[in-house]
Amino acid sequence: MEHSKSNKIDHQQHIEESAEWILANRAGWTAFTTWAREKYHINNRQANDLWKKSWAVLNEHFEDNIRQSVNETLLSLEQIELSAMEENDRRIWLEVVKYRNKIRGGEVERQEVKVTGNISVALNWGDQRDPGDEQS
């Protein structure tokens, strides 16, 4: 059992070391798998698996950094919004609302729509009963 636990720890250390190596060397798949095969004495399949797991760690790290940056920005915008409300500055308040909406992915770009030809619209009104038919 001790040996298995040791292998898991080594494997996790290899993943973390590999992620650091990918970043430090700006390595692509070919360079990485070549390095990993030599460094850890593993085959191509194992090197590819290590590549995938290393990138999962990197992506998680970047997502955490992005999430933290977004949260810090939203907090700053909240402080600016409160200040604008205290000073009754509607222009700044509106800008804050626009930026917050943009950060949260709620911004919708305006689009010009031209309609040519015939248009038909199908409406579904749900239950088609006459309201006068309702019984109390």
pLDDT tens by residue, 25-39: 999 999 999 999 999
Q: Is residue 128 part of a domain?
A: no
Residue that has been written with the tokens 């500055």 in this structure: 89
Identify the domain containing residue 83 by its residue range. Answer: 2-107
* Average pLDDT of the residues in 84-106: 87
Q: pLDDT-based confidence at 104, cuts 50/70/90?
A: confident
Q: What is the reported pLDDT for 15? A: 94
Q: Which two tokens stand for residue 62?
A: 């970047």
pTM: 0.50
Q: How far apart are CA 106 and CA 86, in angstroms?
A: 26
Q: Is residue 121 part of a domain?
A: no
Q: Is residue 135 part of a domain?
A: no
Q: Is residue 134 part of a domain?
A: no
Per the structure, the count of domains in the chain is 1
Q: Is residue 72 part of a domain?
A: yes
What angle, rounded to 10 degrees, do the helices at 2-25 and 29-40 form?
Answer: 140
Q: What is the reported pLDDT for 102? A: 83
Q: Is residue 79 part of a domain?
A: yes
Q: What is the reported pLDDT for 121? A: 56
Q: Is residue 23 part of a domain?
A: yes
Q: Is residue 33 part of a domain?
A: yes
Residue 125 C-alpha from the chain's centroid: 38
Q: What is the pLDDT of residues 18-68, one digit of tens each?
A: 999 998 999 999 999 999 999 999 999 999 999 999 999 998 888 888 888
